[in-house]
Chains A and B, each alone.
Chain A
């Protein structure tokens, strides 16, 4: 087991291998980001405000280009509120005007009231630039792993450790 650490050449090769896996994953993510024009093309649902369609841990695929038509009422969008770091997945229920200055109002399907109270102080509507993508695809459950990892930090450490060990100890 420890023999692999004996040869510097082999250790270096394994380190390279590990780096390659990490950078491939990173480039795939960034590539997807460029294709969809969204800083975060895949998001995990964190709240139940769009239930029953989307539950905690479901994975959403986003698209942020307006090729055919503008983002409009009825689309489910992910947006960031100014000054807050948590992306929110809700449906657009009102749109006034067109173009980048159009005023958009959102609401979670499962919420009784619209999102006015979630927005920043003094902000009554969203603009197109606040939106980081419209939901086009849905995959259930898969994202639950990331919720587990962020809620139980020790799991993150353990997982990274195991991954590192497997890669380092693996022989060709």
Chain B
């Protein structure tokens, strides 16, 4: 009794210690790999504001903006052996009346980019999964997935405002953000400043633009969100 219980305890204790140390080292290794994300292009290609019900559960008609944009970014340096997925998202940001800061933020488009090592976890159909796995060519890390080239990309989420009004809003910008989610360790986002080997994401904001005036349009039936 004495020896077997104690041995079991010691074995389990040693196992947890080793697992903890290995996990810590893996997560610390993130700081050793350089991150040099760049954005070459982010601009709107089409703007529209219509009035209707943006969702089937919307209780009232409201104005909502639909935006198409083009994006050219290289996030390939974010893919390391500890990267499980990179979540990329584009927000629209605009100030409130009488405020200088962008106090309104809304995600208009996002994308989960899995690392090849987590392809089997992605929520996609079997054909798409096969295609995705094939695209990695058997490599466990595939930085080429971080290269984003979108032309005239349709929004995924239309923008609304609690006030119900958004037409003719001025000083709107689009911004690209990312969130690196690891296999173990801390979650990281795009940075304003450079820390160590991780460079700030520069040029992530589009030029300021104004939303157009309200365009009369019948209902939001055609506005199904795309699920890519």
Q: Are A52 and B187 in contact (CB under 8 A)?
A: no
The residues in B between 1 and 17 inclusive whose CB is less than 8 angstroms from any CB of A are 1-2, 5, 9
The reply to whether B186 and A137 contact each other, CB–CB distance below 8 Å, is yes
B171-203 Cβ-contact flags toward A at 8 Å (1 or 0): 000000101011111110100000000000000
Contact B181 A53 (CB under 8 A): yes
Cα–Cα, bound, A91→B105 (Å): 13
With both chains docked as a complex, state the minimum distance between the C-beta of B188 and any C-beta of chain A, in angstroms.
Answer: 10
Complex alpha-carbon distance, A137 and B28, angstroms: 12
Q: How far is A112 from B114 in the complex, measured between Cα atoms in Å?
A: 18
> For the complex, what is the distance from the CA of A104 to the CA of B87, rounded to whole Å?
19
Name the interface size band of chain B.
35 or more
Given contacts A1-B1, A135-B187, A170-B5, contact A52 B114 (CB under 8 A): yes
**Could you tell me if A138 and B91 are in contact, using CB atoms closer than 8 angstroms?**
no
Which residue on A lies nearest to B58, using beta carbons? A116
Instruction: Say whether A76 contacts B106, CB under 8 Å.
Output: no
Q: Which of B96, B101, B112, B185 contacts A52 (CB 8 A)?
A: B112
Specify which chain A residues have a CB less than 8 angstroms from the CB of B227 in the assembled complex: 112
Which A residues touch B96, using CB under 8 A?
Answer: 97
Chain A residue, CB-CB nearest to B56: A113
Residues of A within 8 A of B55 (CB): 113, 116
**Contact of B57 with A138 in the complex, beta carbons under 8 Å:** no
Interface residues of A in 46-97 (CB under 8 A from B): 48, 51-53, 55, 72-74, 76, 91, 93-97
Docked-complex contact A136 and B187, CB < 8 angstroms = yes
Q: In this complex, what residue of B is CB-closest to A165?
A: B5
- State which residues 111-144 of B face A: CB under 8 Å: 112, 114, 118, 121-123
Residue of B nearest to A53 (CB): B181
Contact of B105 among A73, A109, A114 (CB under 8 A): A73
B69 on interface, CB distance cutoff 8 Å: no
A74 to B86, CA, bound (A): 12
Q: How far is the CA of A50 from the CA of B189 in the complex (A)?
A: 17
Tell me whether A143 is interfacial, beta carbon within 8 Å: no
Instruction: Report if A51-B187 is in contact (Cβ < 8 Å); known contacts: A96-B162, A112-B227.
Output: no
Pairwise interchain contact B162-A109, C-beta atoms closer than 8 A: no
Shortest beta-carbon distance from B101 to chain A in Å: 7
Other A-B pairs, 12, CB within 8 Å; known A53-B84, A93-B89, A102-B103: A52-B112, A53-B181, A74-B179, A76-B179, A93-B107, A96-B161, A114-B157, A135-B187, A136-B187, A138-B185, A139-B184, A170-B5
Chain B residues in the interface with A (C-beta under 8 A): 1-2, 5, 9, 23, 55, 57, 84-85, 87, 89, 91, 96, 101, 103-107, 110, 112, 114, 118, 121-123, 157, 161-162, 177, 179, 181-187, 189, 225, 227
Q: Which 3 A-B residue pairs are closest in the complex by CB-CB distance?
A: A52-B121, A93-B107, A73-B105
Chain A to chain B contacts (Cβ below 8 Å), 30 pairs: A48-B123, A51-B122, A51-B123, A52-B118, A52-B122, A53-B112, A73-B91, A73-B105, A73-B177, A74-B89, A74-B91, A74-B179, A91-B87, A93-B106, A94-B106, A95-B104, A95-B105, A95-B106, A96-B103, A96-B104, A96-B105, A110-B123, A112-B227, A114-B157, A116-B55, A135-B187, A140-B184, A166-B9, A169-B1, A169-B5
Residue numbers of A with Cβ under 8 A of B are 1, 48, 51-53, 55, 72-74, 76, 91, 93-98, 102-103, 109-110, 112-114, 116-117, 124-125, 135-140, 166, 169-171
